[in-house]
Amino acid sequence: MALFLFMQQLHEVLVEKVNQKTKPIGSLGRLEELAIQIGLIQQTVSPTIKNPHIVVFAGDHGIAATGLVNPFPQEVTTQMVYNFVQGGAAINVFAKLHEVGLSIVDAGVATEFPAELPIIHASIAKGTKNYLTDFAMTELQANEAIEKGRTIVQEIYNTGCNTIGFGEMGIGNSSSAALIMSNVLQVPIEECVGAGTGANIERKLNTLRQVYQFHKLETNNYSPIELLQRIGGFEIAMMTGAFLEAYSKGMLILVDGFIATAAFLLAHKTTSQIKDHAVFAHCSHEKGHSNMLNYLHAKPVLHLDMRLGEGTGAALVIPIIKSACAMINEMASFESAGISS
């Protein structure tokens, strides 16, 4: 009760502080909402963004080896990890531009990376099993991935980071995300499946209908662990743990696109209060993402028709949240500026 009263009073103070800035009330729109939200998360009237960081989790999916749900070969996941390391991907460009820390994680890519490669080596296995005919992973593997995600965030938090976003790379992972969405939201798989990286939609949809029936996704309301076991990816499982740890540390969480939001759905199913700490960076052009956001009653900051993943949306929203904090901290009030309110 004491915390509730404190937060209620803090909210009132933050609203009043924003309203007293030299502007018409509400004229800075979402920036005002973001400043208040970040102040509540950090429990302060002077919110700040410290050492923002993006973590990209990479993992392979057994079903991708069949080519039924993806136009690109599974090897592209490995190739993209090297591209991240060399600084050539979109997330590298945006992270460098906006001075954001970037970590790449091998959550379960189907290759053996050299130990000296400057990534976080956290592989659970060399890709999941083909969930068309099997469980994607064991319960032990799902829990291990979640715990590794938590540990990675803990280590980043210890560097003084208070703002974190997550991205992913994994050929075929939009299929896993669509299946998770379908089960959590209890909507038909047809409403969840998009092109991903450019797949043949009808073939992808027919394949996922078979997965849907094999794992009885329509008739069972599975727990997050059970869903990850059946149809998850190691990168999605690790990201789920990362979301949960970021929330437990009181961090501002930046939620990226379709796949990241699928992992967030699992974290939200575990701890619904996590939504209070989340800024939903953008609405992906991927089919289904807007329905995920509606389910969470979430309002994305950006609408850029992006569907790349990699945490790119999370990186692009960082200058906006920095602007919100600068507004509440540095903008003059009517009183300090000697302007009549």
Name, in order, each residue with C-beta under 8 angstroms of 222's C-beta and a sequence gap of 6 or more.
183, 230
The residue from 99, 245, 310, 330 that is catalytic is 310
Relative to beta strand 163-169, strand 252-255 is: parallel
Token pair recorded at residue 24? 């018409």
Q: With contact defined as beta carbons under 8 Å apart, do 212 and 181 qualify?
A: no
Give the sign of the dihedral formed by CA 278, CA 4, CA 297, CA 327.
negative
Q: What is the separation, in whole angstroms, between the first and last Cα of the chain?
A: 35
Name, in order, each residue with C-beta under 8 angstroms of 231's C-beta and a sequence gap of 6 or more.
131, 136, 176, 179, 180, 183, 211, 215, 217
Q: Is 330 a catalytic residue?
A: no
Active-site residues, by number, are 310
